[in-house]
Amino acid sequence: MAAKADVQAMFDSLALEYVRTRERQFSFVAQKRLAIDMLGEVRGRILEVGCGPAVMAAELLAMGLEVHGVDLSQEMVHRARQRMAGHPLEKRCRFAVGDVEGLQYPDGFFDALLAMGVLEYLPTYQRALQSVARVLKPGGVAVFTLPNRASAYHLARGAYEGLRTGVQRLARRPQAAPCAQKLCLPWTFDRQLLQAGLLPEDSAACNFVLFPLKELAPRLSDSANRLLHPLARRRLARLLGAQYVVKARRRA
């Protein structure tokens, strides 16, 4: 619960920044393109978990979907409602505070579910995936995006941060304690989906960035990422893309 409260507080503080910058970040745009493509066949009612300030809502509404959004952050939900107030399809979307590990909806309520940048803030995926499977109709679709531990970027950054932490411990320096992200291995996550009754049927990877280029020269890194995005559906992408995107279907 303490960790979840930390995540909530972090995203409360980031809400305004997300409103101002999220849609202009290519790292987000790349995930959005793939997620929308994977949801292309869906009709009916969709739940976006971790909806943030509703940066996906307008496009989901334009696809003819009825949109429900939940977020752990009250401030994100407030910004989402503000953003969609006055939208021509405002009555087809609803936002509420909610937790992916305990979704407050009836069994089989949704035709689809989208969770972008959510699961990595949980210690394990099991409860969240079971909750997702429960609220999906049989045959319903779920699309997830989460950081890819197998990517060159996360391998290099992880090695660097491990070395730095070791040096700090030896020097007995105080260490910051941010909300750590749980990185996934795509093939392991696919097995976890299966265990929850969700059958993986499409996947891709995106955000082709390198460490420390992303940190030292963000504009150059962003340009390279844009050029490499067409690789998203290649097999090699799972070793290069820092973000894994996967579509799964609930067993009928």
Q: What pLDDT band is residue 231 in, cutting at 50, 70 and 90? A: very high
**pLDDT tens, 167-198?**
677 776 655 555 678 999 999 999 999 999 99
Interior/surface letters 151-185, b for 16+ CB within 10 angstroms, e for the rest: bbbbeebeeeeeeeeeeeeeeeeeeeeeeeeebbe
pLDDT, position 26: 95
What are the beta bridge partners of residue 245?
145, 204
The CATH number given to whatever domain includes residue 159 is 3.40.50.150
Q: In angstroms, what is the C-alpha Rg of the chain?
A: 18
| Domain region containing 169 | 2-250
**pLDDT tens, 127-171?**
999 999 999 999 999 999 999 999 999 999 999 888 776 767 777
Average pLDDT over the chain, rounded to an integer:
94
Over residues 107-132, the mean pLDDT reads 97
- Domain tally for the chain? 1
